[in-house]
Structure 1
Amino acid sequence: MKRAARGKPLTNPDNRLFAAIDLPAALGLLTRLPVPVDGAAATARGAAAVWAYPLAGVVVGGLQALAMGGLLWLGVPAAITAALVLALAVTLTGAMHEDGLADSIDGLWGGWDKARRLAIMKDSHIGTYGVIALVLTLGLRWTALGLIAGAGDFALVLVVVAAVSRAAMVGVMAALPHARDGGLSHAVGRPAPRVAWVAVGIGAGLALITGHVGLVMVATVIAVLWVVIARAKIGGQTGDILGATQQLVEVALLIAVVSALD
């Protein structure tokens, strides 16, 4: 829903299901790609535009696949290719999802009550829990990408993983209320069910047509577990929780992919 700067609902929210600004707005928010975005139009759309998150994932995953293919063609070993592709992914998103993961793990497990957990999540400093979470997830992603690169069948897989993990973000946005009166997630708003279903449908559709439908089930299980944890710990979601959703689902999907390799 369209919201004013101070969090008050505006009188004329843009409730169209689709708008031309939606994909540029998603790319402008979720990536560091130099995409021209009409700020006023994007703000007016708010949460109505989040159906395009998985399409932003398609762009990110596609760029990763192109980089992986190019590096392997040049003869770069799979392990080094995986490290460079991982670095590209972090650069493309400005590490915003990794930051959300670290803040979420620090806060959810470092505080004794909701207020303290939210305070820790808002703090720009990183704690032990966050460092451990980043080391583990980056290590798992690197290992998985190396195995996928070595197998050679990676183009569609990387696109599907990137799209489905971002569709999961939208599902969590719709499933949970805002945990605080402020922040990026609150500014964007909470998507209507139909918007969330479009995002989920895009991710599931890509998985289905590429033969990776099992990844939808994996993403659903991880997202539901994360919703349960976030609701129990802070009573809702924040931008950090959403970033962590993307990371946790991506790791789970990559593990599922490499587990299925011959």
Structure 2
Amino acid sequence: MTVTIFNPHWQGFKRSLVTYTRIPLTVDWDDMIKHTPAVCFLPWVGIVVALLSAWPLWFEGLPATIQAIFMLLTAVLLTGGFHEDGLMDACDGLVGGWDKEQRLKIMKDSRIGSYAALSIWFALMLKWLLLTQILLSFASNSAHYGSALIAWIAVHSVSRMTPLVVMNTMEYVSAGGSKASSMIARLDTPQWGVALLPCVLLLLLDFSYLIKAVLVLALFTFGARRYLRKRIDGYNGDALGAVEQISEVLLLLCFMDALA
């Protein structure tokens, strides 16, 4: 009975892992199989990515700079640069386009423009510098490994909530067919519970300063929605990737501020 109840969640989680990471899983994509929408599990996928990419923390002899770069590299390899690609495409289109149609067309173009190159350089550099400083701050703590790991999990899990908010409060727009459209879903109350559960659990782990981070993300999400509505009258998959990446930077910034 229990297995039957949780099977839709397991099916949705597997679909989410296959969609948002490069983890090799066999998934039956038959729509007749009852499953929770895969997007519900974005924060859970963040936990998996964080756990698997935290391996450098085991090597305490490594400098924080080296630990941070390998953590970031592993996370990118696990996701296939899924969100980073969205950031680059979104910056090229949203900043470089003259009108809605041109912006959406640019975002469909696989070529990298100057805005894409600048955005990914600054995003990765900021994440590396902030993560390095956070690891250095935790180094003086006897519970260094556990504290750093939970912080890393929080960054990857909570940052994936902001795309869900955008997805559920705006209209989807696209220039032609898009793979992202098949993953769009409006969440009901139980499904929001599934998505929010990791964030609630993190708050219970004495990471009360996450509350400040949540307020910062709320303000950012409000501004992002206004900007996207002005530029393209809605959102697309690239915009969601950009929102997630900027959220990661903001969360790291909030952690650095709290530790300082």
TM-score > 0.5, shorter chain as reference: yes
Give the TM-score, by structure 1 length.
Answer: 0.85
2:217 pairs with one of 212, 216, 219: 219
Matched ranges for 1:185-224 at <5 A: 185-194=180-189, 197-198=192-193, 201-210=196-205, 211=207, 212-224=210-222
1:127 pairs with one of 113, 117, 123: 113
Which residue of the partner structure matches residue 184 of structure 1?
A: 179
Which residue of the partner structure matches residue 11 of structure 1?
A: none
Does the 8 A contact of 1:30 with 1:93 survive in 2?
yes
Which residue of the partner structure matches residue 3 of structure 1?
A: none
Which residue of the partner structure matches residue 149 of structure 2?
A: 155
* Consecutive unaligned residues in structure 2, runs of 5 or more: 1-5, 139-146
Does the 8 A contact of 1:168 with 1:200 survive in 2?
no
Does the 8 A contact of 1:105 with 1:129 survive in 2?
yes
Counterpart code for 2:25 = V
Q: Give distance in 1, aligned partners of 2:33 and 2:242.
A: 23
Q: Give distance in 1, aligned partners of 2:34 and 2:94.
A: 32
Give per-residue Cα distances to partners, 1:15-63, cap 9 Å, x unaligned. x995320111111111111222222259975x83311111111111122
2:13 aligned with 1:26, yes or no? Answer: no
Give per-residue Cα distances to partners, 1:58-117, cap 9 Å, x unaligned. 11112233x13123x2x1111111111111111111001111001001100101110000
* Consecutive unaligned residues in structure 1, runs of 5 or more: 1-15
Counterpart code for 2:29 = G
Does the 8 A contact of 2:162 with 2:243 survive in 1?
yes
Does the 8 A contact of 1:26 with 1:53 survive in 2?
yes
Aligned length: 243
Q: Give distance in 2, aligned partners of 1:250 and 1:126.
A: 22
Does the 8 A contact of 1:54 with 1:162 survive in 2?
yes
Counterpart code for 1:224 = F
Q: Give, in angstroms, the shift of residue 175 of structure 1.
A: 1.2
Does the 8 A contact of 2:8 with 2:34 survive in 1?
no
Percentage of matched positions with identical amino acids = 33
Root-mean-square deviation (CA, aligned residues, Å) is 2.2
Give the TM-score, by structure 2 length.
Answer: 0.86
